[in-house]
Structure 1
Amino acid sequence: MRILSLSPVAALSVLAGVVSATRPCPDPLAPFTWTMSEWTYDAPDPTGRGRAAIDSTVGLYLVVGGVDFSCIGSWPETWEGRADDGRSLIWFSCVVNRGRQVDTTVSFAMDWRAEKLYTAHTYVCTDGARQGSPIIATGSANLDLECERSTPGGRPTRCITRSRQLTITTQPKLAAINTCVAESTGSASWEVSGYISALGPGSRAPPGSTFHVLNLADGTKFDCAASEAIQEDGTMQGHCTPVGGAAGNSTTLTFSFDREVRLITLSQAQACPGSGSPITTRGAGYVPAFPCLSNFSPTCEEEAVFWVGGQAEQA
């Protein structure tokens, strides 16, 4: 299996500096051209131990403006790149290999069944009327894969793209005036920061997890906390409160966390004028673990900001 790697020290320095990353913002906002290379897929290893015997793994490199990112994602093979609800794509964070990062987050998701790669990056404007505004830019590309199989017609054991390089264009967009306008387009976008995780039953640490969420659709900020301790099966539920009551009583944000696969799922319901029922958006993301590689204490604070993308659910 080919593994993209970053040393714990490098990972710490990269992720700790991400929050202050900024970009100039021309008017109108211009798209970005990314180059993807070295995309590979490896199926679970039936002779392996732990997650290696269960998870499929995708690795790739992304390059934009001379900045080189390593991206790795893994999921239980039967999930095919989506959360266990079968709907939400799982978003994974990328880390800098080379260059100065000017994005707050860089992420990717893989729809394995459709053989389609999605990319996203968030950043803050440094100039003009948009100074200080958070921006989300997204793009996608269909992959032409060449796969090895252990049996004819069986599941792939290893895949690569026929073309070793692929161009992906990401289109930036500003936050909408309100979440109803943004979510009516069918997409959702959250930045998660200050993630503090704790061990489950038997730990003396505070139960569950706490973190902050910024809804990039409308700029609403939330403080999130577990409503229960991590259960024996490694799962946990929680809710989020709008900071300063910014969203009033019109929106609710809840989350679930699966510690075994480090998967967080966000679900936001927004009551919108003229709508008979709330618009609900749901998204899933992998919680990065780089800052915790050298921290074996029961409580671990993630210094990274990571992004979770989602879609509106059909009523």
Structure 2
Amino acid sequence: MTNQARLLILATAATGLLAEAVRLCANPTRANFQYLLGDVQYDSPVPSGNDGLSTIAVSLQSLTHTNLYNCVAMWPETWAGWYNNGSSLVWADCAFTGSGPRQDEIVSFAVDWRKQRIYVAHIFACSDKPGSKGLATGTHTLNLNCTTATDGGNHCISRGTKDGSPVFNPIITTLLQTPLNATLRCEAPKPYQSWKLQDWVRYIEQHPGASPGGGKPDGQSGPSFKLISIPGENSMNCTTSEPWKKTNGTSEGTCQSANPGIPAASFSFNSDIKILSISQHSKCTDSLRNDLTGVVFIQESCQRGVNGDRFQIACTSDPVWIGTETF
């Protein structure tokens, strides 16, 4: 192979990697982006178990088959991906693996299990509009093989080709709006209303010798977090007013903005299943309301410390995008 040919191959590969990392926002008609849907695995609760939670894990890959994001969500099996079996999808964070280019600030996903459909949303810096960020969303129908195991649980994995090799289906996402700090409006057409959650923290106290998640805690406080509206970029601080009771795994609180024109939101967090529900209601006119509800599965990372004679566990979470309606 000649040196010229080698240089051409290297240049082509570099261009491909660069193209995957580019996020163009200036021309909405061309603002489509793509991930490859890698491995998908679903596990229903084992009948002999006691948590009753279904788990779904998904990998999102680059066009060169680099595994970029690992997405995991859990919800009660009867919900099938919908909060309380209702009208709000349960969103969850997609964690960056550290491989390949970091294309997005936040990637989130949700699954409608009854329709076998996955939803993906991502927030990113616009490559052609410095200082501006965009939000893009997309959806794709899953193609799975499901079996019932000897333990009675239902297990599903991605359906491969006839020769058993994996199929990497594309998920196309489309730019919804940029910049994200567009004027918040109630009248139609309106921007997609959603939230970015960040700075999540809550504290758990347990007696010496107890492990995180092991048994009922001696005391719990929080959670506290920051909620940023999209596209308005209005920030709200969310807190609970009292520590939780030992026998009650649900905490309720409010989200307040320093801007008096921003309506407060309320939230409920179930620590047993790690599900956070947020609601915000605002009156635009006498006949028009803007009611938002978003639900998210919180993936916590907990670290142990010592507070006097007690073990204190601090649990945090990466930022996550929360959708408020199905697109």
Q: Which residue of 2 aligns with 1:87?
A: 87
Q: Which residue of 2 aligns with 1:8?
A: none
Q: Which residue of 2 aligns with 1:265?
A: 277
Amino acid at match of 2:291: T
CA offsets 1:190-220 (integer angstroms, 9 cap, x no match): 11111111238743x7x32211111112111
User: Could you list the runs of 5+ residues in structure 2 that have no partner in the other structure?
Assistant: 1-20, 161-166, 206-216, 306-310
Q: Over aligned residues, Cα RMSD in angstroms?
A: 2.8
Partner Cα separation in structure 2 for residue 147 and residue 156 of structure 1: 10
Q: Which residue of 2 aligns with 1:159?
A: 156
- Please tell me whether residue 279 in structure 1 is matched to residue 283 in structure 2: no
User: Could you list the runs of 5+ residues in structure 1 that have no partner in the other structure?
Assistant: 1-21
Q: Which residue of 1 aligns with 2:164?
A: none
Q: Which residue of 1 aligns with 2:186?
A: 180
TM-score, length-scaled by structure 2: 0.74
Q: Which residue of 2 aligns with 1:211?
A: 225
Structure 1 residue 26: Cα displacement: 4.1
TM-score, length-scaled by structure 1: 0.77
Amino acid at match of 2:71: C
CA offsets 1:133-163 (integer angstroms, 9 cap, x no match): 3322110011233322479xxx971223335
Q: Which residue of 2 aligns with 1:236?
A: 251
Q: How many residues align?
A: 274
Q: Which residue of 2 aligns with 1:168?
A: 171
- Please tell me whether residue 190 in structure 1 is matched to residue 195 in structure 2: yes
Q: Which residue of 2 aligns with 1:96?
A: 96
Amino acid at match of 2:61: V
Indicate conservation of the 8 Å contact 2:23/2:124, yes or no.
Answer: no
CA offsets 1:287-313 (integer angstroms, 9 cap, x no match): 1213x2x4365352525211211129x
Q: Which residue of 2 aligns with 1:138?
A: 137
CA offsets 1:14-62 (integer angstroms, 9 cap, x no match): xxxxxxxx965441142111100111211112244x53xx111111110
Q: Which residue of 2 aligns with 1:222?
A: 236
CA offsets 1:224-260 (integer angstroms, 9 cap, x no match): 1113332422101111111x31xx3452211111101
| Distance change >3 Å, CA 299–CA 240, structure 1 → 2 | farther
Structure 1 residue 123: Cα displacement: 2.0
Partner Cα separation in structure 2 for residue 211 and residue 182 of structure 1: 30
Q: Which residue of 1 aligns with 2:204?
A: 199
Task: Tell me which structure has the larger Cα radius of gyration.
Answer: 2
Partner Cα separation in structure 2 for residue 182 and residue 262 of structure 1: 34
Q: Alignment partner for residue 304 of structure 2, among 259, 283, 295?
A: 295
Partner Cα separation in structure 2 for residue 286 and residue 270 of structure 1: 25
| Distance change >3 Å, CA 26–CA 89, structure 1 → 2 | closer
Amino acid at match of 1:142: T
